[in-house]
A and B are shown apart, each in its own frame.
Chain A
C-alpha cells in the first residue's frame, strides 16, 4: 500500500487513526489495533511478504539466548543476525542466479539456478536494519531485551517507517511507543505537524518528484542523445527528484507518526546546502548514515586499529570510511555503478577528513557549498545509471563531449517549463531549512496555500507511482 494512494489516504489512515484514538481507554486493545494495522499495511503489498516477518520470530527466540552465558550470547547473536542473510539473499539473488548460470553455460550446462531473480519484499532492508540494531544493542547490553511481543512486533513492522525508514533504534522507539500508547489525546502541536508533514510530503512527491520523473525519464532512457544542456537538465532534475521523492516520503512518515503521537527522527536537513561532503552525509538520509556509523564504521575502525595498529588512526579512519560507504553502495544494489557510487563517496569523505585534520584552507563558504553540490551531483550520475556505459555517456555529455546545441531546450521532451521548474527547485533547496524545521502559520493565505497543495496533490493521485527508495 502506497502512502500516495486513495486507499491509504482516504480509507486506511482515517480508519486506523480513528481506531487508535477511540481505544484510548484500553491500552492493550490499542496496542493490538496498531499491530494489526501494521500487518494489514504490510500484507496489502503481498501476503507472501508477511511470511518474512518470521525473521522477527527467529530474533525473539534469540532473546532468551542472549541473556545468558557467553556461548549462549554468541548463539543468540548469530541467530539475531541471521536476518541479514535473508536481506543479502533477496538483494543479490538475481546476481547469484546470473553468475551461477553464466558459470554453468561456460561448462556446457543449462540454467543451474533458475528463477532466483525475485521481487524485493517491501521494506526488507529497513526492518532488517531494525532487527540488526536491536540484536547488537541487546548483545552489548545497551538495552534490555523486549519483554512484550506486541511492542517488539510493532517496532519491526511499524507501518509509517517500514518501507523506507526513517530508521529508529529499539530504545528510542520503545520510549515513543509507551508515550504514544499512554496518550489520551493527541498533543496539539503533533496534530499541526502531522497535517503539515503529510501535506508537504504529498506535495513533494506528487507535484515535484513525479513531475520531474515524467520530464527526465525519457531523456535518461535515451542517454546516448544527451548533449551538454540536456544532460545537465536531466542530471539536475534527477538530483531534485531523488531528494523530493525521498524527503517527501519521510515528511509523510514523520507526519503520520505525529498523528499517532510518535516523534520520529528526521532524515533530511537541507542536504544541498552542505558546505562539505561530511556535512552532506550529516544532512542526507541521516538515520541510515547514523546506523552505519554506529553499527559498522565505529566497530570496523576499532577492529582494524586493534588488528593493524601500525596503520595508525588516520589510515584506519580513511579505510573504514571507504569500506563503509562502499557497503552502503552495495546495499543499494548489486551493480558496479552502486559500488562505484559508494566508493566515490567513501574516498571523498576520507579526503575531507584529511583536509579537516590538517586544517587545509577550503575557501569561502559559497565555494564549499558549490563544490559539494557539484560532487554530489556527479555521484548521482552513477546512482541513476543502469550500467557503467550509461554513466560514462552521461559524464561525457555533462562535460561537453556530445555538443552544446542549446536549441534542444524547449523541444519535446525537453520543455521550457522543466527548466523553470528546476530553477525554482534550485532556489528552494538552497534555503537554509528543511520542512520539518518549519512552523506552519494559521493565517488565511497560508492555510489556503496548504489546502491548494493538498487539492493539487489529490488531483495527481490518479496514477500513484512508488517512492524511489522502495526499490532498496
Chain B
C-alpha cells in the first residue's frame, strides 16, 4: 500500500504541490486581503519551482519555449480579462453608468453626470455649487417656480466645475433658463489641487476628454480599483455596507446621514477644516475667470443667473473669524458686486443666518445646511420667479 502511495505521490507530486500551494494562496488572500503578500507568495512559488526545474538546453528546445511564452501570455490575457471584468461589473467607484452594486466611494462628479444622463427631460433650472449647496432641492425649486430643476453641485467645487457641467449639458443640446450658483469663499480662494483626473475635467477641454475616455478603461487594471471591488463584494456578502455620509436623489439633491449629534458633527468639521482660512490667503483669479465664463455664456443664451453665498454654522463662522475668512469673504463680496454691476445677476448674501430666518439647528454639521435651510434661501431667491409673481 505504502509503495503504491509513494509511486502515486511521486507521479503526481508536482500537480499536488501546485494545487496545494494555490489553495494556500487563496486562503491567505481571503484572510489578509493583501495583494502584495499574494504577489510575494506567487513570486516564491515561481522562484522555488524554477529553482527545482531540470536545466534544459532551451536553444535546442523551441517547443518548450513556445509553450512557456504562449501559455504565460494566454494566462495573462485571461487573468487581465477577469480582473477587468470584475472591476467593470462591480464598478466600485461608480465610474460607469451601470449600478449592479452600489459604489463604495461616491464620486459626486461621476454620479452627477450619470444622474443627469438618466434624468427624464432637460431641466429648466440648474444649481451649481459645492457640497454646501447639495440641499438646494430641485423639488422645492419646481414647487416655487414651476421650473424643472437639477442640482449639479459637487463636493470641493470650483467655478471650473460649473463650466465643465455647462459644457456637458451643451453637448446634449441643453442650456438652462435659470442658473443658481451657491458661491462660497472656499471655491474662489487658492490654492486648488490639480484635479486633472476628475470626471469633469474631460468637459473642460478636448484633450482631457479623450484621455478620460481611455483612462476609465485603463483604470480597470489598477490595484486601487481591484481592492475596492473586492471590498465592495465583501460588503455585499456581509450585508454590512456602511451608509455613505451623503447620497444623491435622481434630481441631484443631496441627503445627509445623521448618525451623530449636530454638536459632534460640528466638532468634527472644526477638526477637519480647522486651519482652512489660515492656509487660504487670496482669491483665485483663474477660478474667477471660469465664473466670468459662466456669466458670459448665460448672457449669450439669455439665461437668468442667481448667485448666493451660503452660511456656515455659527460655531464654524466664529472659528473662522480669527483667520483670513472675514477678509476673503469681503473680497468675494466685492468681486461679486462688481460682476453684478457688469452682468446684472441677482446676488444674495445668506452669511447672516438671522437675516432670513435661519437657525443654528438647520445644519447637518459645521458647513452643510439642511433642506429646510435650503428652502428658506430658495424662497428668498426665487420669489420673483413664482408663477403668480
Q: Which A residues lie at the B interface, using CB under 8 A?
A: 6, 187-189, 191-193, 195-196, 199-200, 203-204, 206-208, 211, 417, 420-421, 424-425, 427-428, 431, 433, 435, 438-462
- Check A445–B22 contact: CB distance below 8 A: yes
Give chain B residues whose Cβ lies under 8 Å from the Cβ of A448: 71, 75
- Check A211–B36 contact: CB distance below 8 A: yes
- Check B72–A450 contact: CB distance below 8 A: yes
Interface string of B8-38 (1 = CB under 8 A from A): 0000001100110010000000001011111
The 6 nearest A-B residue pairs measured at CB: A451-B75, A445-B18, A207-B39, A447-B71, A189-B58, A438-B50
Select one of B35, B53, B69, B73 contacting A456, CB under 8 A: B35
Select one of B43, B55, B71, B79 contacting A207, CB under 8 A: B43
Known: A192-B68, A441-B49. A459 touches B42 (CB 8 A): no
What's the minimum C-beta distance from A40 to chain B, rounded to whole angstroms? Answer: 22
- Check B44–A188 contact: CB distance below 8 A: no
Select one of A208, A439, A458 contacting B43, CB under 8 A: A208
* A206, A433, A443: most-surrounded residue (chain B CB, <10 A): A443
B301 interfacial contact with A, CB 8 Å: no
**Assembly CA distance A195 to B71 (angstroms):** 12
B45 interfacial contact with A, CB 8 Å: yes
Known: A6-B218, A189-B58. A451 touches B36 (CB 8 A): no
- Check A195–B47 contact: CB distance below 8 A: no
- Check A455–B43 contact: CB distance below 8 A: no
- Interface SS of chain B: helix
Known: A203-B43, A435-B47, A451-B79. A459 touches B72 (CB 8 A): no
- Check B39–A203 contact: CB distance below 8 A: yes
Give chain B residues whose Cβ lies under 8 Å from the Cβ of A421: 36-37, 40
- Check B43–A195 contact: CB distance below 8 A: no
What's the minimum C-beta distance from A270 to chain B, rounded to whole angstroms? Answer: 11
- Check A439–B55 contact: CB distance below 8 A: yes
* B22, B38, B50: most-surrounded residue (chain A CB, <10 A): B50
- Check B53–A440 contact: CB distance below 8 A: yes
- Check B223–A446 contact: CB distance below 8 A: no
- Check A451–B76 contact: CB distance below 8 A: yes
- Check B218–A439 contact: CB distance below 8 A: no
What's the minimum C-beta distance from B15 to chain A, rounded to whole angstroms? Answer: 7
B48 interfacial contact with A, CB 8 Å: yes
Give chain B residues whose Cβ lies under 8 Å from the Cβ of A452: 39, 42, 75, 79
Q: Which B residues lie at the A interface, using CB under 8 A?
A: 14-15, 18-19, 22, 32, 34-51, 53-56, 58-59, 61-62, 64-69, 71-76, 78-80, 83, 218-219, 221-224, 226
**Assembly CA distance A441 to B55 (angstroms):** 10
Known: A447-B71, A451-B79, A455-B79. A431 touches B51 (CB 8 A): yes
- Check A446–B64 contact: CB distance below 8 A: no
**Assembly CA distance A206 to B44 (angstroms):** 15
Known: A446-B50, A447-B72, A449-B49. A439 touches B79 (CB 8 A): no
Known: A192-B69, A453-B43. A440 touches B50 (CB 8 A): yes
Give chain B residues whose Cβ lies under 8 Å from the Cβ of A204: 43
- Interface SS of chain A: helix
**Assembly CA distance A203 to B18 (angstroms):** 20
- Check A439–B76 contact: CB distance below 8 A: no
**Assembly CA distance A405 to B46 (angstroms):** 37
* B18, B46, B61, B218: most-surrounded residue (chain A CB, <10 A): B46
- Check A453–B58 contact: CB distance below 8 A: no
Give chain B residues whose Cβ lies under 8 Å from the Cβ of A199: 72
**Assembly CA distance A188 to B64 (angstroms):** 9
Known: A208-B43, A421-B40, A462-B223. A442 touches B68 (CB 8 A): yes
What's the minimum C-beta distance from A354 to chain B, rounded to whole angstroms? Answer: 36
Nearest B residue to A194 via CB reads B69
Give chain B residues whose Cβ lies under 8 Å from the Cβ of A188: 58-59, 61-62, 65-66
- Check B64–A442 contact: CB distance below 8 A: yes
- Check B47–A428 contact: CB distance below 8 A: yes
Select one of A428, A441, A457 contacting B44, CB under 8 A: A428
Select one of B19, B34, B42 contacting A453, CB under 8 A: B42
Nearest A residue to B54 via CB reads A439
Select one of A191, A417, A458, A462 contacting B224, CB under 8 A: A462
**Assembly CA distance A199 to B41 (angstroms):** 15
A-B contact pairs, 21 of them (CB 8 A): A188-B61, A189-B59, A191-B69, A195-B69, A196-B50, A204-B43, A417-B32, A427-B44, A435-B47, A443-B18, A444-B71, A445-B15, A445-B49, A447-B74, A447-B75, A452-B39, A452-B42, A455-B79, A455-B221, A456-B223, A457-B39
Nearest B residue to A439 via CB reads B53
Give chain A residues whose Cβ lies under 8 Å from the Cβ of B226: 459
- Check B59–A449 contact: CB distance below 8 A: no
**Assembly CA distance A48 to B32 (angstroms):** 46
* B40, B45, B80: most-surrounded residue (chain A CB, <10 A): B40
- Check B44–A453 contact: CB distance below 8 A: no
What's the minimum C-beta distance from B198 to chain A, rounded to whole angstroms? Answer: 16
- Check A431–B47 contact: CB distance below 8 A: yes
Known: A192-B65, A452-B79. A187 touches B59 (CB 8 A): yes
**Assembly CA distance A458 to B72 (angstroms):** 14
- A-B contacts besides A421-B36, A452-B79, 19 pairs, CB < 8 Å: A187-B59, A188-B65, A199-B72, A200-B43, A208-B36, A211-B39, A417-B34, A424-B44, A428-B43, A441-B53, A442-B64, A442-B67, A447-B68, A453-B39, A453-B46, A455-B221, A459-B83, A459-B222, A460-B39
Nearest B residue to A447 via CB reads B71
- Check A440–B75 contact: CB distance below 8 A: no
Give chain A residues whose Cβ lies under 8 Å from the Cβ of B75: 447-448, 450-452
Nearest A residue to B219 via CB reads A462
Give chain B residues whose Cβ lies under 8 Å from the Cβ of A444: 71
What's the minimum C-beta distance from A113 to chain B, rounded to whole angstroms? Answer: 32
Give chain A residues whose Cβ lies under 8 Å from the Cβ of B54: 439
**Assembly CA distance A203 to B46 (angstroms):** 11
**Assembly CA distance A211 to B34 (angstroms):** 11
Nearest A residue to B79 via CB reads A455
**Assembly CA distance A211 to B43 (angstroms):** 14
What's the minimum C-beta distance from A208 to chain B, rounded to whole angstroms? Answer: 6
What's the minimum C-beta distance from A14 to chain B, rounded to whole angstroms? Answer: 13
What's the minimum C-beta distance from B83 to chain A, rounded to whole angstroms? Answer: 6
- Check A460–B46 contact: CB distance below 8 A: no
Nearest A residue to B77 via CB reads A451
Known: A192-B65, A445-B18, A462-B224. A455 touches B83 (CB 8 A): yes
